[in-house]
A and B are shown apart, each in its own frame.
Chain A
Amino acid sequence: MSLSKSIAILIEELQINEKSGAKLYDSFWKYIAKTLAEDGSVEINGIGVFSIVKTEPKDDKSKAESKIIFTPSAAFKSEIGVGI
């Protein structure tokens, strides 16, 4: 499982137990969400940039919305084999 892979690396490198590893992984993304909400954008080294973008409504009846978009870095795309 991919989630376990990420946690496994944390456990191995930091020499912590599984529970702590999972907690750490969750905390990372909670922190990213918090930073995104406060600053409007956040860049993760080796992954890319998450940002909030406002979209204008198409007409008077529809609402203007904000969306979270992700811009992958070239290195990330290259590592995972996309963009070819």
Chain B
Amino acid sequence: MAAKNLNHKFIEYLYKNKIISKDNIKKGKDLESLVTKGIIESLKKENEHPLSNFGVFRKTSAYVSGRNVKNVEFIPNEALQKSITGRYVSKKEGQFSIKKNLKMIFIILGILSALFILFGILFTFCRNDIKSFIDNQKSKNEMRKQHNNDLSGDADTTNDIVTKENIDMEDENVYATKEEDLVIKIRGDKDPELKEGEYKEELIEYNGKIYKKFKYTIKKGDTLWDISAKFLDDAFRWPFLHNINKYIIDPDVIEPGDPLTIYVENKS
């Protein structure tokens, strides 16, 4: 700061901080020169002059090349020295300084936090969809497992439990539907005696009721809808057919040549 402005700025400082009254300011005294005058007067007689909490002026003398050289030095106050000069500057270029890069660190942390919050929000909204997908996959896996179990076992046992004499109620493959028709899981073994589109019919007894059991061989172009209409007189009962013939995983996909077992209560 240039010396010419110092007095003016200092007076402004005094006024802003309410250190002296307006009357003294208006007097137009050069406060800077008054302070200087006091220092000079003091150092003419003394070797030392304190500058409040700023530091100390001290007159020194030293012998240089046989001559006594006098000088004046300034010794800053310790607290002032620390406050102004307390920073460490690394000599090596490129050395990472946390203080210098603090702003950038905070920006990066802020961006990461925002991303975490965003993912959290997306996950919250899509959680049900994710859960449904996982459940769907689980049930498909279970169905496949069950299907494999159904197809495993003794290949010689091709016949279902059909007669009153040998029906086994403990067999886990025997159970009833809501309509109380006889339902048995079959293994999907083909009957060599039946050609595609042909069927066998027999009567069986179960739980005090008589059922017609059809063993039908699927032909090309068949659908569970058509077969249900033909044997059950109701195309809308096709889920019942699917429920009996558990080896069929996808009711929209049935293969020509595969067997289909159908039970119908014999009311006649």
| Contact yes or no, B19 A23, CB < 8 A | yes
A24 touches B84 (CB 8 A): no
Which residues of chain B have C-beta atoms less than 8 A from A39's C-beta?
1
Does any Cβ of A come within 8 Å of B113's Cβ?
Answer: no
How does the 8 Å CB contact mask read for A70-84 relative to B, with 1 for contact and 0 for none? 101000110111111
Residues of chain A within 8 A of B10, CB atoms compared: 28, 31
Count A-B pairs with CB separation below 8 Å: 159
Which chain A residues border B9 with CB–CB below 8 Å? 31, 35
B contact residues, range:
35 or more
Contact present for B70 and A81 (CB under 8 Å)? yes
The answer to whether A80 and B43 touch (CB under 8 A), given A10-B35, A14-B27, is: yes
Closest to B4 in A: A45
Q: Are B59 and A82 in contact (CB under 8 A)?
A: yes
Q: Is the CB of B74 within 8 A of A68?
A: yes
Q: Is the Cβ of A5 less than 8 Å from the Cβ of B17? A: no
Number of interface residues of A (CB under 8 A): 57
Q: What is the CB-to-nearest-CB distance from A82 to chain B, in angstroms, rounded to a whole number?
A: 4
Q: Do residues A13 and B80 form an inter-chain contact, with CB atoms below 8 A?
A: no
Residues of B within 8 A of A50 (CB): 74
- Interface stretch (choices B46-54, B164-172, B242-250): B46-54
CB-based contact A24/B14 at 8 Å: yes
Inter-chain CA distance A39–B76, complex, in Å, is: 17
Contacts of A25 in B (CB 8 A): 35, 52
A27-B14, A82-B71, A83-B71 as given contacts; A37 in contact with B84, CB under 8 Å: yes
Residue B88 is within 8 A (CB to CB) of chain A in the complex: yes
Q: Which residues of chain A from 38 to 72 have any CB-CB distance to chain B below 8 Å in the complex?
A: 39, 41-47, 50, 52, 54, 56-57, 60, 63-70, 72
Q: Please, could you name 18 A-B residue pairs with CB atoms under 8 Å apart, sorted by A?
A: A3-B50, A5-B42, A6-B35, A13-B34, A14-B31, A14-B34, A27-B13, A29-B54, A41-B1, A45-B7, A66-B84, A66-B85, A67-B85, A68-B74, A72-B71, A80-B40, A80-B44, A81-B70
Interface set of B (CB-CB < 8 Å, partner A) = 1-4, 6-7, 9-10, 13-14, 17, 19-20, 24, 27, 29, 31-44, 46, 48-55, 59, 69-74, 76, 80-81, 83-85, 87-92
In the complex, besides A8-B38, A27-B14, A30-B53, 14 extra interface pairs with C-beta distance below 8 angstroms are: A2-B46, A2-B49, A9-B37, A9-B41, A23-B20, A25-B35, A29-B53, A39-B1, A43-B3, A46-B33, A46-B37, A52-B85, A57-B89, A63-B88
